A and B are shown apart, each in its own frame.
Chain A
Amino acid sequence: MLILTRKIGESIRISDNIIIKVVELDNRHVKLGIDAPRSIAVNREEIYERIQKENEAASTAEDNNLKNIADKLRITKKE
């Protein structure tokens, strides 16, 4: 991993269209500003991981239990 030292207000440029700037710093937090084309997905890593994990859990579930939920949902809708 490339590691660079930056001061507050300084930036890193990635390719020609992504800029990451150190905006604020306190004890344990760094605030970063990111300038990138909107089509480039910028996400907090833990959000991506959460979705990854949930997809894995969803892919292994037992089908049959879904019939019960489907029944209940149909009943709820009718009420």
Chain B
Amino acid sequence: MGDIVSNLVFSKNDSILFPKGIPGFEQRREFVIVQLPDYLPFEWLVCTDGSGLKFAVINPMIFMPDYSPNIVKEQLEDLAIEKPEDVLLYVIVTIRENPEESTANLIGPVIINKTRRIGKQVIVDDDTYTTKEKILRKK
């Protein structure tokens, strides 16, 4: 059973630049978004530098439709977003052995301008959300 990234071929056109990396991985600047049928609605944010670094990500609206982090537009200035259709919104998932316990980091949403292919992890400094929100929520 191979790692999901080991067989991937990246096209330079697909890569998304994270000019400052992401916290903890400040030197990793180029990623691609990979969708694999078995994992949907999760997707993968995979570093293209061959390091094997990858993150499971998901659009938070899928499990939390009322997610509305407090982000000011200046935080997104460097993404040069011109229209809402440019934007991809993800949160990073921490997979636990017990699926029920898996969490998403809602204070560090990943925002990508897919037109310009540039992204960043935004830090949401308010106490509404945490780094460990359960994805499978009890009804």
Give A contacts to B, CB under 8 Å. 37-39, 41-44, 47-48, 50-59, 61-70, 72-74, 76-77
Contacts and interface: CB of A to CB of B under 8 A. Distances in A.
B132 A69 contact: no
B42 A70 contact: yes
A63 to B, nearest CB: 5
Contacts of A61: 56, 93-96
Is the contact region of chain A dominated by helix, strand, or loop, or is it mixed? helix
Interface residues of B, number: 43
A74 B74 CA distance: 35
Given A51-B123, A66-B95, A69-B42, A41 B55 contact: no
A59 B135 contact: no
B131 A69 contact: no
B108 interface: yes
Given A58-B92, A67-B38, A70-B39, A47 B55 contact: no
B136 A69 contact: yes
28 contacts: A39-B74, A41-B75, A41-B123, A43-B123, A47-B107, A47-B123, A47-B125, A51-B23, A51-B107, A53-B24, A54-B94, A54-B131, A55-B108, A55-B121, A58-B93, A59-B53, A59-B54, A65-B95, A65-B96, A69-B135, A69-B136, A72-B100, A72-B136, A73-B135, A73-B136, A74-B41, A76-B136, A77-B41
